[in-house]
Amino acid sequence: MSIGTKYIFVTGGVTSSLGKGIVSASLAKLLQARGYTVTIQKLDPYINVDPGTMNPYEHGECYVTDDGAETDLDLGHYERFLSVPTSQANNVTTGKIYQSVIDKERRGDYLGKTVQVIPHITDEIKSRIRLLGKTGKYQIVITEIGGTVGDIESHPYVEAVRQMKWEMGKDCLVVHLTLMPYLSTTGELKTKPTQHSVKTLLEYGVQPDVLVCRTEHKINKDIRNKVALFCNVEPAAVIEALDASTIYEVPLLMEKEKLDVVVLSKLQLPVPENIYLDDWKEFLHKLKNPKFEVKVGLVGKYVELKESYKSISEALIHAGAVNNCRVNVQWIHSEWINEENVEEKLAGLSGIIVAPGFGKRGIEGKISAIRYAREHEVPFLGICLGMQCAVIEFARNVMGKSDAHSTEINPSTSNPVIDLLESQKQITIKGGTMRLGAYPCVLNEESKVFSIYKQREIAERHRHRYEFNNEYLGDFEKAGMMGSGVNPQGDLVEIVELKNHPWFIGVQFHPEYKSTVSNPHPLFVGFVSAAIEIAGLSRKTKVTSKIDS
Ligand code: GLN
């Protein structure tokens, strides 16, 4: 089917955190399941050029694409749902928009003109939206507008949506997500916040075509009709979005509500009869009916905000489902672990992950946790800084280099087992200058990782500045830590593993970014399966507790 690209905008009203990202990803999944090629883009109204310079407490995880964009964590949901890679063009921020408009102004592209929000900023926004359509790869582009309608920051984006709707008519559609709160005192669902937020959109000149209403209770026909009448949408376009036990249920809830059918009809696109969701349903069934349960520790310094490790916890959910296992993640603060209490803090875990991170805080706790995993033969996965800490721990406690460290933490160590490459030493600008994006890695055929990946060459995504120091490689190998994956261009060690341990792997890259529902990441699948084995679980093990995700 050859069609011009259609554009769907997803806006949000009433409050933040209603789950626009999940609704956008669910709609995209349904359209994909009906045979359309879809991508999702996020427009973020903050002035940072990208979230790479933000602390995870501010913004949650920074997600990285194959082409090295540091992006909003919603892009992770898009990839996990669709299994289609995103790119630089899929995340646009106000910082990026203004940067390019100001660059153009300095070049003289607007010579003679006053540069203004309308049309210059809005034109730049529109061109970024159309960029994905122009690739010719997608029949439908879904653009999620960050923030809440009415915020000062979102205004230029909503104005760009108004203009695109006016210019493109039926090729554009606006889905507005709102909250329908339940008042327990009167036992009623209230529609007023939805009405008000649609009024705000109308003040900006945008009439939403579809309303998705987040609610704890079912919406009856009367309420649908009332919302439809007050908000000027068809009753069938008032979609109920009930709270779900897992985000992976949302596409099926949206399918029941016919969100995809309403959207396709409004865009004047055919609604293919077949919708292929068999694999998705099988995954969900496994997720909700686990046969085993394992307790896995995630050691990190941002554990108060679980969004900081979103992709890791989702990768564990995918890997758990494949293994018919509920992965019960224990969030362990690295600052609270030391050599004295580590046994007590980590007792009873069947697997330990040491998380990525930057800086000194909590580093010794991570190193103690790794020592525990190594000595007690608990399956261990170290990710990025977690891998670097595994190298430091091994150098200190096995190779006897007691002051071994990363020069990120101790620049004057006499054993810099983790260090900066010469090329990184010249860099003074912080934003966007780490080793970012996908790099190839060749696996040693004798290694555990080769038996896990079952292929010689892999590509994984990176986000770090420091590297394993190759000067020490020979010593490490002699002592029993193997460099089992190497970047073929620079001979950089990307994976380390222990020979005398049931499952001990550290990776310089971030495997979690590539785990999706249809392609759970082999390292996480292998890790969970090792945890099941160590826990000595038999097929008879029952899981009774309720699942959450
Ligand atoms: N801070 C380390 C580095 O820059 C690790 C980064 C990470 O864990 N993503 O190399």
454 φ, ψ (degrees, to nearest 5): 55, 30
Mind listing the pLDDT tens digit for each residue in 150-186? 999 999 999 999 999 999 999 999 999 999 999 999 9
Q: Does position 364 have pLDDT exceeding 90, yes or no?
A: yes
The encoded tokens of residue 448 equal 């555990």
Mean pLDDT for 506-513 is 98
pLDDT at 59: 84
Is residue 389 part of the annotated active site? The answer reads no
Ligand 1 contact via 165 beta carbon (within 6 Å):
no
Residue 329 near ligand 1, beta carbon < 6 Å? no
Residue in the structure block whose two tokens are 């670097």: 388
Task: Name the pLDDT band for 508 (thresholds 50, 70, 90).
Answer: very high
Exactly one of 384, 393, 467, 521 is catalytic; name it. 384
Mark residue 448 as left, alpha or beta (left: phi above 0; alpha: psi -120 to 50; beta: remaining).
Answer: alpha
465 Cβ closer than 6 Å to some ligand 1 atom:
yes
- Ligand 1 closest atom vs CA 383: 8
Asked whether the beta carbons of 534 and 281 are under 8 A apart, the reply is no
Q: Whose CA is nearest to atom 8 of ligand 1?
A: 356
Cα separation, 370 vs 377, whole angstroms: 10
Query: Residue 16 — very low, low, confident or very high, per pLDDT cuts 50/70/90?
Result: confident
CA separation for the pair 483, 203 (Å, rounded): 60
CA of 529 to the centre of ligand 1 (A): 27
Determine which of 114-128, 368-382, 532-546 has the lowest per-residue pLDDT on average: 532-546
Tell me: pLDDT of 548 over 80.
no
Q: Does 77 qualify as catalytic in the annotation?
A: no
pLDDT at res. 123: 97
CB of 356 closer than 6 A to ligand 1? yes
User: Percent of the chain having pLDDT more than 90?
Assistant: 90
Residues forming beta bridges with residue 176, ordered by sequence position:
11, 211
- Give the tens place of pLDDT for each residue, 290-336: 999 999 999 999 998 989 999 999 999 999 999 999 999 999 999 99
Q: 540 pLDDT exceeds 60?
A: no
Does 517 score more than 70 pLDDT? yes
Residues 6+ apart with CB under 8 A from 513: 63, 64, 76, 79, 311, 461
Atom of ligand 1 nearest to the CA of 358: 1
Q: Return all residues near 487 (Cβ < 8 A) that are at least 6 apart.
A: 439, 440, 441, 442, 494
pLDDT of residue 74: 95
| 362 close to 333: Cβ distance less than 8 angstroms | yes
Chain centroid, CA 61 distance in Å: 7
Please give the number of the atom of ligand 1 that sits closest to the Cα of 466: 10
Of 15 and 355, which is predicted with more confidence? 355
Give 461: exposed, middle or buried? Use CB within 10 Å, 0-12, 13-18, 19+: buried
Q: What is the CA(338)–ligand 1 centre distance, in A?
A: 21
In terms of Cα–Cα distance, which of 451, 417, 461, 441 is closest to 525?
A: 451
**Ligand 1 centroid vs 509 CA: distance in angstroms?**
9
pLDDT of residue 543: 55
Q: Tell me the C-alpha to C-alpha distance, in Å, between residue 310 and each of 9, 68, 256, 361, 405.
A: 24, 18, 27, 20, 28
Any atom of ligand 1 within 6 Å of the Cβ of 358: yes
| 357 CA closest ligand 1 atom index | 8
Mutate to test the pocket of ligand 1, among 62, 358, 469 (most ligand atoms within 8 A of CB): 358
According to DSSP, the residues that pair with 464 across neighbouring strands are 435
Note the Cα 493 to chain centre separation in Å: 25
Please say whether the dihedral angle defined by the alpha carbons of residues 455, 456, 459 and 460, taken in this order, is positive or negative.
Answer: positive
Determine if ligand 1 sits within 6 Å of the CB of residue 384.
yes
Q: Ligand 1 centre and the CA of 360: distance in Å?
A: 11
- For residue 457, give the 3-state DSSP assignment: strand
Please name the residue whose Cα sits nearest to atom 3 of ligand 1: 464
- Residue 190, token pair as written in the block: 């209230």
Mean pLDDT of the chain: 94
DSSP code of residue 523? H
Tally of residues, the chain: 549
pLDDT in tens, 213-238: 999 999 999 999 999 999 999 999 99
Torsional sign, CA 356, 431, 406, 305? negative
Give the pLDDT confidence of 396-428 residue by residue, as tens digits.
Answer: 999 999 999 999 999 999 999 999 987 888 888
Q: Has 501 been annotated as catalytic? A: no
What is this structure's pTM? Answer: 0.94
